[in-house]
Structure 1
Amino acid sequence: MALSLKQVRYFIATAESGQVSQAAVNLSISQSAVTTAIRDLEETVGAQLFERTPHGMDLTSAGRQFLAHAYDIMKKVAEAQQLNLVTSEVTGRLTVAATYTVIGYFLPYHIERLRRQFPGLDIQLFELNRESIEEGLLTNRYDISVLLTSNILNPELQTEKLLSSPRRLWLPARHRLLSVGAVGLKEVAEEPYIMLTVDEASHTSLKYWTQTPYQPSISLRTSSVEAVRSLVANGQGVAILSDMVHRPWSLEGRRIETLVLQDDIPSMDVGLAWRRSTEFSPQMSAFRAYFRSAFHLPE
């Protein structure tokens, strides 16, 4: 049986989410399709890639090795699809503003690819909060931005969503809620809660909490995602954060599990923003075209 790109994509989605059910949700397909693809992939490579556990899918040693190859495969496919994207001869300076979360967990990979694809494009990157980015775009201090578009409300700015990252409950391994059938904000409210504050995370969080009769029992507010990760992994509380910043292990090597909540939790949307009346320069067009191709946005 030949290896297919579909199998590789489904494998990566399962490895990153740690659960077949969540991978299926992220891919907008059935769980059985994911399960079948992984089973066929394991037969093709002749190795068990996942250890099936009550809490999800853990990569085996062979699975971790294959994940590295899977990323390389998809990277090469993406590069091949962009051969005719925009001429690589684009030159000049482009000022790009981005928020903390975007710079830390989204942009580095794409900036590296952009610089290889457009070697003459001088990308100047600035980390700022949303308010400063909005002001900078409107005064032409920055050409374009990459930020959480779900936070943008200014009608003078045009936005284009690239991806929606679901928010899920983060828990330490063997937490009691992992064995509960259905978990919502009611159950979360009974746990000590670690509140992330960076990129208006606390404001966004309280917006969906206030639509319920419950409130989080906040034990700590922090601007550090790594602090949240370590505190959750070490049993000091729980948190609701997006898949984009999730990693299954803390710096201490402790497991962080995730659960899909029953309540309606908004996703974290990441995308581009620019001044609505701006005329796109060749540099801005190349930057936007790269992301539109990378995320398969319709023309």
Structure 2
Amino acid sequence: MDLEAVRTFAAVVEAGQFQKAAADLAITQQAVSKRVATLERDLGARLFTRTPRGAELTIDGQAFLPHARELLRAAERAVASVGTGRRPLRVDVIASRVAPSGLMRDFHRAHPEVDLDVVMLFDVEAAVGAIRSGAIDASFRAVAAPGRSLPEDIESVRVLDEPLQLLTGPAHALAGARSVTVAQLAGHRIWMPGIAPGTEWAAYYDDLVAEFGLGIEVTGPNFGSDALLDTVADTPALATFMSEHTRVVWPAGHGLRRIPVTDPTPVYPHSLLWHRDNPHPALAALRAHLAATRPALDAPGTWRPGWVLPR
């Protein structure tokens, strides 16, 4: 069914005359008559009776009118669902407890009027593909890892350099330290079973190991953060890295310690990625918010891999 013909039918009903409907629609009276005739042919029913006073609905026209109006309302809702700025801003934060999730919570508090859909995509290639297809508007990632250059239509800006901390149990040799240097970590077992090969964080820790000669173990199944915290708390020989803004809660009896790492402080580089042609106004608001609240990048005494984009 031709939606323009339905819209013209409704305009004639509203105006009461073909001529006035034509003026309201900014088309000719002949075009109005042609559209109504097409609709009547499609429906197999006569919708109007011409009278000296204008056009009156037939019984079939009266029956069709509420359905015509519902069709037009449905069309308006369909357009509104995809109109720029009328749908929620969809942003990938990778996981619920990491820094990007916190950045989006801060944005929501600053801009409660913006509708958000927060999603969690594990793989950077899936995230970039979702940005290019329009399935999401933005993603937080570390870019650009070796062999993972961004497509030309994807823009990025670094929004946070997040310091790493050492997490130990109460019986670990370094548990009483107020801070530890990277050199002091040499020879200690740092267990990180959640590092998946091929991810940007795997590339990050590969460079960290190569740069400072650390021993990072990724053996064993990854049962999640709770199991990791249980093991670190109970095993004096093990520690793990945890980013400063990672949100975790552990039982009081665990006695875990979060210890700053210095000389230099390894920082994990978070960037926001988006498609250069994305017109969503809330995306511009998110970028402006992140720019206004961004801490200093490349601070003295910090380390990041050489492949990190400086923007």
TM-score range, shorter chain: 0.5 to 0.7
1:255 aligns with 2:255: yes
The residue that corresponds to 1:233 in the other structure is 233
1:127 aligns with 2:120: yes
Unaligned 5+ runs, structure 2: 1-83, 298-311
Q: Residues of 1 paired with 2:240 and 2:170: CA distance?
A: 14
| Structure 1 residues 253 and 150: CA distance shift in structure 2, 3 A | farther
**Which string of whole-angstrom CA distances, capped at 9 and with x for unpartnered residues, describes residues 92-127 of structure 1?**
2244232433x3234555545655655553322221
How does the TM-score come out when normalised to structure 1?
0.55
1:197 aligns with 2:212: no
Identify which of 150, 155, 167 aligns with 1:154. 150
Q: Residues of 1 paired with 2:92 and 2:262: CA distance?
A: 32
The residue that corresponds to 1:79 in the other structure is none
Tell me which amino acid in the other structure corresponds to 1:281: H
Q: Secondary structure at the match of 2:115?
A: strand
Tell me which amino acid in the other structure corresponds to 1:96: R
Structure 1 stretch 257-266 or stretch 232-241: which is displaced more?
257-266
**Which string of whole-angstrom CA distances, capped at 9 and with x for unpartnered residues, describes residues 22-61 of structure 1?**
xxxxxxxxxxxxxxxxxxxxxxxxxxxxxxxxxxxxxxxx
Q: Residues of 2 paired with 1:250 and 1:113: CA distance?
A: 24
Identical-residue share of aligned pairs (%): 14
Unaligned 5+ runs, structure 1: 1-89
8 Å Cα contact 2:159/2:291 also seen in 1? yes
| Structure 1 residues 108 and 264: CA distance shift in structure 2, 3 A | closer
| Structure 1 residues 116 and 177: CA distance shift in structure 2, 3 A | closer
User: What CA RMSD, in Å, does the superposition of the two structures yield over aligned residues?
Assistant: 3.7
The residue that corresponds to 2:211 in the other structure is 211
The residue that corresponds to 2:7 in the other structure is none
Tell me which amino acid in the other structure corresponds to 2:163: P
| Structure 1 residues 283 and 218: CA distance shift in structure 2, 3 A | closer
The residue that corresponds to 1:244 in the other structure is 245
How does the TM-score come out when normalised to structure 2?
0.53
8 Å Cα contact 1:150/1:269 also seen in 2? no
8 Å Cα contact 1:93/1:283 also seen in 2? no
| Structure 1 residues 128 and 223: CA distance shift in structure 2, 3 A | farther
| Structure 1 residues 253 and 161: CA distance shift in structure 2, 3 A | farther
Q: Secondary structure at the match of 1:207?
A: helix
* Alignment length (residue pairs): 206
Identify which of 156, 159, 164 aligns with 2:161. 164
| Structure 1 residues 284 and 220: CA distance shift in structure 2, 3 A | same
| Structure 1 residues 187 and 166: CA distance shift in structure 2, 3 A | closer
Q: Residues of 1 paired with 2:210 and 2:127: CA distance?
A: 28
| Structure 1 residues 182 and 107: CA distance shift in structure 2, 3 A | closer
Q: CA deviation at 1:132?
A: 0.8
| Structure 1 residues 262 and 165: CA distance shift in structure 2, 3 A | closer
The residue that corresponds to 1:290 in the other structure is 289
| Structure 1 residues 134 and 251: CA distance shift in structure 2, 3 A | farther
